Structure formats: structure tokens, C-alpha cells
Amino acid sequence: RVLLVDDSLVTREMERRLLEDAGFHVSAAGDAVEALGLLSERSFDCVVTDIEMPGMDG
């Protein structure tokens, strides 16, 4: 399971497609707050995050 975090919808969907095509199960978040919520609900094997985002950076 991969958690993908990026504030750019276009980038997030492109990365999601690439990861899913490679066989990964992907959950995506549009910002750090949403990502923290997902992390509190379940565990992930890997987090792929944008470094610079509004509010809270990755």
C-alpha cells in the first residue's frame, strides 16, 4: 500500500496511474492534513510526497 500526497491534481493522478499500473495499491491525498488523517486510519508501506505544499510541506 502506497500513500501518495501531492497538492497538484494533475501530478497526483499521473503518479497514481503509474503506481497502479505497476501493481501497487494507492491511496491519495491532496494535502498533508488529509494524508495525516489517512495515516491515522491505516498503515502504508511507502509514502510518496510532494516536498513543497501549501499549509504544511511534505
What is the Cβ-side half-sphere exposure of residue 12, based on CA atoms within 13 angstroms? 18
3-state secondary structure 24-36: CCEEEECCHHHHH
* pLDDT at 57 (0 to 100): 64
With beta carbons less than 8 A apart as the criterion, state whether 17 and 9 touch: no
Domain limits of the chain?
2-49
* pLDDT at 53 (0 to 100): 78
Kindly tell me if the per-residue pLDDT of 58 is higher than 70.
no
In this structure, CATH architecture of domain 2-49: 3-Layer(aba) Sandwich (3.40)
- pLDDT tens track for 1-57: 999 999 999 999 999 999 999 999 999 999 999 999 999 999 999 999 988 777 766
* CA distance linking residue 3 with residue 38, whole number of Å: 8
